[in-house]
Amino acid sequence: MKKFITYSIPIVTLTIFILIMLGGNYFKKPHNPSEDVISFVNLSIEHAKVENWDKLKQDVANIDFAWKKIIPRIQYSVERDEMYNISLNLASLRGSIASKDKASTLIELNEMVENWDELTK
């Protein structure tokens, strides 16, 4: 019995660590509508196309809130640089919305979609 426990504890521990590290795809999925980053980004793209700047400011606040809820779940299963890229996209997006620059807003939003897709690859 002692030999079984001696072997099973490290195996179970390693299995849990592997599941956490490979679970990024599961962890980045929204568990409720307020965490759906990609749907907020897609909505923002539509608002940027028609240059609705007031709605875009609200959309960016929603994206930021959702992103901050997702970060703790995925921090062990994705590269830190990939998370940092999305945070940089958010900062650049705020600046482009403040200057009401449609082109850079659309660029940042589409880049955020690409960074989101690359999170768990």
| Residue-level pLDDT at 112 | 95
| Structural domain includes residue 12 | no
Q: Is the pLDDT of residue 90 over 90?
A: yes
> Quick one: tokens of 5?
């426990």
- Domain containing residue 54: 24-118
Phi, psi of 47 (to 5 degrees): -70, -30
| Structural domain includes residue 33 | yes
| Structural domain includes residue 15 | no
Among 4-8, 23-27, 94-98, the minimum mean pLDDT is found in 23-27
Model's pTM, two decimal places?
A: 0.84
| Structural domain includes residue 17 | no
| Structural domain includes residue 93 | yes
| C-alpha dist (Å) from residue 32 to 35, 70, 73 | 6, 11, 14
pLDDT digits (tens, 9 = 90+) for 10-54: 999 999 999 888 887 888 888 888 889 999 999 999 999 999 999
| Structural domain includes residue 10 | no
Contact 17, 52 (CB under 8 A): no
Looking at the structure of the chain, the number of domains it has is 1
